Chains A and B, each alone.
Chain A
Amino acid sequence: MNDAIKIRILQGDQIIHDVRNASLPELFRGLPTIEDKACSDDCNKCAEVCPTNAIKLNPVRIDLGLCVFCPLCEETCPEKIIHFTNNYHTAVDRTEKLIVTKETKSISPEKSSEKIRKYFGKSLKLRQISAGGCNGCELELNALSNVSFDMGRYGIEFVASPRHADGIVITGPITQNMSKAIDICYDAVPNPKIIILFGACAISGGIFQNTGEIQRKFLEENKIDLYIPGCPPHPLTFINGLLDWLDKV
């Protein structure tokens, strides 16, 4: 008993009290900014080095759905116009918002519909499906339940059965071998239900977009409610995205 109390005292108060404004290390690569400066003629170096073809040119645009947040473009740009900030508020509700341009200062999802907020605003149970996820995203989703992030305090939790869930969180590029399981699992979730894509692989295929082993039909057939970019996304990106979306500020 004494030992237990000792360990408990050692643990102290670990919770991140203000998840909206917690600061991350300088080097953390979150929302990129693109300076409003002209590129030198015909320079396509950023697009060329990008491992996932996330960058389009004239003018420079970064697709956060594809971006794996390696700093290659930032390092390569001769004019130094691309810069990764440590802003982790990058969750959005529509793919158009994933495109970062010179005008982009911040991105966030629109408030969900009144119906969704009425149903899920106080309690949201999610079933996670890993469909080719490398365990990077899965570890970060698991971290959401630890003593630092404690997502349960907002009534948001992961559950074991799709029958108990209000929606699914998909990680990984959706392999052919998981495409059937994902259909069955989604069918088992009662209506109304939401779909959240977590990580670059789930949103776009990421580094695996050109392998023949993925089957992304499920995403074309269903409406996606929330996109969480990153490789893997930071747990705070997920929490803040949901808080914005459910209007629980």
Chain B
Amino acid sequence: MKLLEVQNNQLFNIDAIHFLGKDEFRNTVAVLMQNGNRMIALTPIDKSDPQKIIAVLSDSSSSMIGVVGGDFSKGKLEFESWANDFPQTHYFECELSENYGYVPVNHPWLRPVRKQNVILGNKPYQFFKLEGEEIHEVAVGPIHAGVIEPGHFRFQCHGELVYNLEINLGYQHRGVEKLFLQSSPNQQIILSESIAGDTTIGHTFAHCNAIECLSHTQLSLRAEVVRTIASEIERIAMHLSGLGGIANDIGFALPASSYGRLRTLAINSLASICGSRSGRGLFIYGGVRFDLNDEIINTVVNNLKIVQNDVRQVNEYLFSSVGALSRLEETGIVKKDLAQNVGLVGLAARSSGLEEDARIHFPYSAYRYNPISMITLSTGDVFARARLRALEIDEALRFIFDQIENLPQGEIKSDIGNVTANSGAISIIEGWRGEIAHIVFTDEKRNLLNYKIKDPSFNNWYGLSLALRETAISDFPLCNKSFDLSYAGHDL
């Protein structure tokens, strides 16, 4: 098969990509997906020349990433859609179509991804409609009843029961990918911190890995360990925030406020490391800006010990309450097969029993030498997504204490050179939501040709839609919180 196989954070020359004719391209990608590969991106390598595209597919079993090129310069920008056989590609095809005018022929549901009032074919996009005597429609958003990001949701219901939920996003679109191409390196780091402000460390981690890979920069072990510690603190903080939100949505005030209190300890630990509660300013190219001295280590360890002790008791309280369990269990189920078919990643995938964790399958930075355990649950309901958070907090705490105890000595910054010309790099990391991918290409003059970002929310929003099917509409806030997806990360 003609494809380029690379590892996570492995530099490759653009010329090493085989650009196939469109039929061969389509078939190669289909065969790869048939073999269990998952799509990560469908994008041109040069944003200004969309006729040459690549499909990036990951194979968790071999830890390899496949890059298949397709040359559409002869003939129309058209290909036979994969989505009928492999629903996971549905949204990637929509994105390619919206951004570059490709037509995925026989696509089951071509819809806008980020743009509003788009014309598809010749007519404006119409929301999915369900007809019937007692069917009614509920539309909410973009502004919701809370301090959260904007998005539009349309429910087609029969009484309380939701038959279909259509999620329409794009309100947060700031043009991040385009902005990357016109920004200086200093700006790019700030920009990656702001892709999704709740995953500041995750996205900056992926960005720095990509740029360091392009510039052959070797990090010190200490810098890598500090980065992974910060990344796990972010996971703990956001999982606590998620658990608090779930408790709040079922009207269980005591755990809700307790989780909120514990999250404060976690983010204050980040603030003691780098001055920002969300971890801004910590990452620089070639390492980290702030070192861990004894005083900071003490603060972090003390804070996290309290979290470790208290969270167990709060978890026990929440998960032993019959009232809470009756709300969480068998609500918003996504079964394993479905999760695999639509290509869920991260937390949501692991709750449904899928083994997807970039820290294990595509190890990077300090996870290469210091493994972390992957936890999966099987029920795929709100309970599983809540419980998995609790278990992952435990494991992250163990990992952090372990790392701090064995903190390697050395510098925290390495010198960084120029990025390599005419090259590409694929950087995958596991944010707290799931797989974050940054894919970068440079031209002969070392300028960026394309900067493609994939937030885990891009995969998982459709999972939320499916979770809502045959579920009471009143459970929507609970289901939504159990996925806790990013609007900004999706809209870019």
Hey, which chain A residues are within 8 Å of B179, CB to CB?
207-208, 210-211
Which of A139, A141, A211 is within 8 Å of B178, CB to CB?
Answer: A211
Using an 8 Å CB-CB cutoff, how does the interface string of B144-183 with A read, 1 for contact, 0 for none? 0111111000000000000000000011111110110011
Hey, which chain A residues are within 8 Å of B263, CB to CB?
146
Contacts A173-B174, A178-B171, A210-B182; A7 near B200 (Cβ below 8 A): no
Contacts A51-B190, A134-B194, A135-B198; A177 near B271 (Cβ below 8 A): no
Q: Which residue of A lies closest to B182 (CB)?
A: A210
B372 in contact (CB, < 8 A):
no
Contacts A27-B272, A135-B486, A148-B261; A232 near B278 (Cβ below 8 A): yes
Q: Which residue of B lies closest to A140 (CB)?
A: B277
Cα distance, A28 to B281, chains bound together (Å):
10
Hey, which chain A residues are within 8 Å of B197, CB to CB?
133-139, 232
Hey, which chain A residues are within 8 Å of B310, CB to CB?
10
Contact of A7 with B254 in the complex, beta carbons under 8 Å: yes
Q: In angstroms, how far is the closest chain A Cβ from the Cβ of B288?
A: 13
Hey, which chain A residues are within 8 Å of B488, CB to CB?
132-135
Cα distance, A4 to B253, chains bound together (Å):
11
A129 in contact (CB, < 8 A):
yes
Contact of B116 with A25 in the complex, beta carbons under 8 Å: no
Cα distance, A161 to B145, chains bound together (Å):
7
Contacts A51-B187, A207-B190; A212 near B175 (Cβ below 8 A): yes
Hey, which chain B residues are within 8 Å of A50, CB to CB?
186
Question: In the complex, which of the residues A68, A130, A172, A212 has the most CB atoms of chain B within 10 Å of its own CB atom?
Answer: A130
Hey, which chain A residues are within 8 Å of B280, CB to CB?
68-70, 136, 231
Cα distance, A28 to B271, chains bound together (Å):
7
A6 in contact (CB, < 8 A):
yes
Hey, which chain B residues are within 8 Å of A7, CB to CB?
254-255, 258, 313-314, 317
Contact of A131 with B150 in the complex, beta carbons under 8 Å: yes
Contact of A138 with B149 in the complex, beta carbons under 8 Å: yes
Using an 8 Å CB-CB cutoff, how does the interface string of B306-339 with A read, 1 for contact, 0 for none? 0000100110110010000000000000000000
Which of A140, A160, A178, A185 is within 8 Å of B146, CB to CB?
Answer: A160
Which of B200, B257, B486 is within 8 Å of A146, CB to CB?
Answer: B257
Contact of B275 with A51 in the complex, beta carbons under 8 Å: no
Question: In the complex, which of the residues B171, B281, B486 has the most CB atoms of chain A within 10 Å of its own CB atom?
Answer: B171
Q: Which of B256-287 contact A (CB under 8 A)?
A: 257-258, 260-261, 263-264, 268, 271-278, 280-281
Contact of B194 with A29 in the complex, beta carbons under 8 Å: no
Cα distance, A141 to B175, chains bound together (Å):
24
Question: In the complex, which of the residues B172, B178, B186 has the most CB atoms of chain A within 10 Å of its own CB atom?
Answer: B172
A204 in contact (CB, < 8 A):
no
Contact of B314 with A138 in the complex, beta carbons under 8 Å: no
Cα distance, A29 to B280, chains bound together (Å):
10
Q: In angstroms, how far is the closest chain A Cβ from the Cβ of B310?
A: 6
Contact of A211 with B486 in the complex, beta carbons under 8 Å: no
Contact of A29 with B261 in the complex, beta carbons under 8 Å: no
Contacts A134-B488, A185-B143; A3 near B317 (Cβ below 8 A): yes
Contact of B261 with A24 in the complex, beta carbons under 8 Å: no
Hey, which chain B residues are within 8 Å of A140, CB to CB?
277
Which of B178, B255, B275, B487 is within 8 Å of A29, CB to CB?
Answer: B275
Contact of B281 with A130 in the complex, beta carbons under 8 Å: no
Hey, which chain A residues are within 8 Å of B184, CB to CB?
51
Q: Which residue of B lies closest to A8 (CB)?
A: B254
Cα distance, A140 to B200, chains bound together (Å):
14
Q: In angstroms, how far is the closest chain B Cβ from the Cβ of A141?
A: 5
Cα distance, A208 to B316, chains bound together (Å):
44
Cα distance, A26 to B276, chains bound together (Å):
11
Q: Which of A53-70 contact B (CB under 8 A)?
A: 68-70
B196 in contact (CB, < 8 A):
yes
A90 in contact (CB, < 8 A):
no
B290 in contact (CB, < 8 A):
yes
Q: Which residue of A lies closest to B314 (CB)?
A: A7
Q: In angstroms, how far is the closest chain A Cβ from the Cβ of B325?
A: 14
Hey, which chain B residues are within 8 Å of A26, CB to CB?
275
B223 in contact (CB, < 8 A):
no
Q: Which of A1-39 contact B (CB under 8 A)?
A: 3-4, 6-8, 10-11, 14, 24-29
B226 in contact (CB, < 8 A):
no
Cα distance, A131 to B277, chains bound together (Å):
22
B382 in contact (CB, < 8 A):
no
Cα distance, A172 to B194, chains bound together (Å):
10
Cα distance, A166 to B461, chains bound together (Å):
33
Q: Which of A122-174 contact B (CB under 8 A)?
A: 128-143, 146-148, 158, 160-161, 172-173
Q: Which residue of A lies closest to B192 (CB)?
A: A207
Contact of A133 with B149 in the complex, beta carbons under 8 Å: yes
Q: Which residue of B lies closest to A126 (CB)?
A: B147
Using an 8 Å CB-CB cutoff, how does the interface string of A179-223 with B read, 1 for contact, 0 for none? 001000100000000000000010000111011111000000000
Q: Which residue of B lies closest to A27 (CB)?
A: B275
Cα distance, A232 to B196, chains bound together (Å):
12
Contact of B182 with A128 in the complex, beta carbons under 8 Å: no
Contact of B194 with A207 in the complex, beta carbons under 8 Å: yes
Cα distance, A60 to B196, chains bound together (Å):
32
Hey, which chain B residues are within 8 Å of A3, CB to CB?
316-317, 320
B142 in contact (CB, < 8 A):
yes
Which B residues contact A (CB, under 8 angstroms)?
Answer: 114, 116, 142-143, 145-150, 170-176, 178-179, 182-184, 186-187, 189-191, 194-198, 200, 241, 254-255, 257-258, 260-261, 263-264, 268, 271-278, 280-281, 289-290, 310, 313-314, 316-317, 320, 486-488
Interchain residue pairs with CB less than 8 A apart (5): A25-B268, A27-B271, A70-B189, A133-B197, A172-B172
Which A residues contact B (CB, under 8 angstroms)?
Answer: 3-4, 6-8, 10-11, 14, 24-29, 49-52, 68-72, 128-143, 146-148, 158, 160-161, 172-173, 175-178, 181, 185, 201, 206-208, 210-214, 231-232, 234
5 additional contacts, CB 8 Å, given A11-B257, A148-B264, A160-B146? Answer: A6-B317, A175-B172, A208-B175, A231-B194, A231-B280
Closest 8 CB pairs of A and B: A136-B197, A27-B275, A160-B145, A134-B197, A213-B175, A211-B175, A146-B260, A51-B187
